[in-house]
Amino acid sequence: MYYLYQPHHYPFSYGQIAYHPFPVSPSIDPELLNRPMSHRNAATAAPKRLLPTAQKPEFPPVNPNHLYESAQSSRKLMSEASILLDRLATSKEFDAKLMEAAQRSDTAEVTRLIRSLGITANVNAQYNPDGLRLEFTSTIDGVECCRLLISLRWR
């Protein structure tokens, strides 16, 4: 039986210096060990535990208006996405038109077909040979509040 010697390769330049093959114990001052407990100072005593009366951070009062508006807007996005998914699930004719436009990289036609269903939300349609990615977004007061992403595979 043969054994192949493989030297250690260190991933950094000071590997041989930093590598410790044996566990190294921390240095202990023998004078501290020989002192009686009454002579030890506060620095060597056990750490104090935190009291449960520590101050908790204060938060501003909650205002559910933004969450409420985002949920309402997301509901609208989901209903419009449902309209599009219903058409894609029931009409092979519509699917063929959408796929043909995507194969020609005719983004305007893909957008027109989606808008023809009465969808008013912002829809970003991205496609590749494997499928379709629809991203519905909505804004409240000029700030994007919600996003709905649907990925469909067609190959």
* 3-state SS, one letter per residue, for the chain: CCCCCCCCCCCCCCHHHHCCCCCCCCCCCHHHHHCCHHHCCCCCCCCCCCCCCCCCCCCCCCCCHHHHHHHHHHHHHHHHHHHHHHHHHHCHHHHHHHHHHHHCCCHHHHHHHHHCCCCCCEEEEEEECCEEEEEEEEEECCEEEEEEEEEEECC
pLDDT band of residue 35 (cuts 50, 70, 90) is low
pLDDT tens figures, 122-143: 999 999 889 999 999 999 988 8
Whether 34 has a pLDDT exceeding 80, the answer reads: no
pTM of the complete model:
0.60
> End-to-end CA distance of the chain, in Å?
54
pLDDT computed for residue 151 by the predictor: 94
Whether 32 has a pLDDT exceeding 90, the answer reads: no
